[in-house]
Amino acid sequence: MKHHYQLLPEWAAQSGVLITWPHPDSDWGPWLPRVEPVYLELVRHISRRERLLITCRDDAHLAQVRASLSEAALLGDPVTLHRVTSDDTWTRDYGPITVLEQGQPRLLDFTFNGWGGKFDARNDNLATRRLHAAGAFGATPLETVDMVLEGGGIESDGLGTLLTTEQCLLAPTRNPHLSRAHIERRLRALFGLERFLWLQHGHLAGDDTDSHIDTLARFCDPHTIAYIACDDPGDEHYADLQAMEQELRAFRDRDGLAYRLLPLPWPAAKHDESGKRLPASYANFLIINGAVLVPTYEDRADDEALRRLREGFPAREVIGVPCLPLIHQYGSLHCVTMQLPAGIL
């Protein structure tokens, strides 16, 4: 069945990336001295290759961010600041999801309910509409979709295949009135899908998202999937991630062939001050024009993760970005970014 829409893969040409800057009144307050350098590093790498849209909570915050960028010599034409009130900084999950409609980009704005009502997300849910009204996305049309969905919960090969997890998309706290068949039907129409790859296994301790796919397994190209692999039988994740690996081995690409699988190393357990385990995952990378930005965690497995992802992206520069501060709020690099495909900015 042919559809008018096409959900692009992350490696498609991009015009820019959207991020939301942390501020003192958010959960990032105590962590600002450590987390802002992570954001400055993201600006440094992204702005060399494409445009960057940064949302700030109010005029005072915008002025502060502008000063920080100027001090770091990062304030220039590729970087645009917008004043948009937000609750948090996980732009991946409330930013627009882009599809092509007859070859032209179209923004889809799904409902964001704080990962099933875990957190207040009223402002985050309005952020994309407010940005669009302010002209941040130019003349690109925006369609509001009455369905809960987060960008971190889906992976596209660009050829009609969606990789996702049952725990997230079928969570009763998201779309309790929709069955799996109904969800597939809606997403087929909205994204131009032909196939669904549903993972039943895979999770990370400390994760608030109900197993977002972008922490577990990612397409590198239509025939290659990088995934987190736990090799420690004594770790609480071992059995579940072994089961996830077997599911991935059973999947077939659109040509009926087994996927080339790239296991990513397992970092040592990271904990916060209270002893809660933090969700450190090398699968939470961001693909941008000419490069892949990979979260690192001051761990001895960092170098091996970069090496393995270079196998998955031989034509791109693979760059490590220190992200240990990000996981103290239970997300990482991909979670705080949303790519904007070519033609939007």
- pLDDT(309) > 70: yes
User: Quick one: average pLDDT of 284-296?
Assistant: 98
User: Quick one: average pLDDT of 101-123?
Assistant: 96
Q: Where are the domains of the chain?
A: 5-341
Name the amino acid, one letter, at 169.
Answer: L
Could you tell me if 229 and 235 are in contact, meaning their C-beta atoms sit under 8 angstroms apart?
Answer: no
User: Quick one: average pLDDT of 122-145?
Assistant: 97
Q: Which residues carry out catalysis?
A: 335
| Cα separation values, 261 from 157, 247, 290, Å | 14, 11, 22
User: Quick one: average pLDDT of 259-272?
Assistant: 97
- pLDDT(1) > 80: no
Give the homologous superfamily in CATH for domain 5-341: L-arginine/glycine Amidinotransferase; Chain A (3.75.10.10)
User: Quick one: average pLDDT of 134-146?
Assistant: 97
DSSP three-state, residue 278: strand
- pLDDT(3) > 70: no
User: Quick one: average pLDDT of 65-83?
Assistant: 96
Q: What does DSSP assign to residue 268?
A: P
Say what the pLDDT of residue 26 is.
82
Pairing between β-strand 97-101 and β-strand 79-83 as defined by DSSP bridges: unpaired
User: Quick one: average pLDDT of 240-246?
Assistant: 98
Say what the pLDDT of residue 27 is.
83
| Cα separation values, 228 from 11, 101, 325, Å | 20, 33, 20
Give the separation between CA 46 and CA 93, rounded to whole angstroms: 19
User: Quick one: average pLDDT of 198-219?
Assistant: 97
In total, the chain counts a number of residues equal to 345
User: Quick one: average pLDDT of 187-216?
Assistant: 97
For 142-283, strand residue ranges (E) read 142-148, 155-156, 161-165, 195-199, 217-221, 224-228, 260-264, 270-271, 277-278
Of the pLDDT bands very low, low, confident and very high (cuts 50, 70, 90), residue 149 is very high
User: Quick one: average pLDDT of 39-49?
Assistant: 98
Query: How does pLDDT run across 151-182, given as a tens digit for each residue?
Result: 999 999 999 999 999 999 999 999 999 999 99
Percent of the chain with pLDDT over 70: 99
Could you tell me if 124 and 112 are in contact, meaning their C-beta atoms sit under 8 angstroms apart?
Answer: yes
* Angle formed at CA 136 by CA 107 and CA 99, multiple of 5 degrees: 15
Say what the pLDDT of residue 264 is.
98
| Cα separation values, 71 from 57, 74, 157, 317, Å | 20, 8, 39, 27
Q: Containing H/E element for 68?
A: helix 59-71
Number of Cβ atoms within 10 Å of the Cβ of 69: 22
Of the pLDDT bands very low, low, confident and very high (cuts 50, 70, 90), residue 24 is confident
Quickly tell me which residue has 């790498």 as its tokens. 45
Q: Which residues contact 200 (CB under 8 A, 6 or more apart)?
A: 165, 166, 167, 243, 247
Question: Rounded mean pLDDT of the chain?
Answer: 96
| Cα separation values, 293 from 134, 198, 206, 285, Å | 29, 26, 22, 6
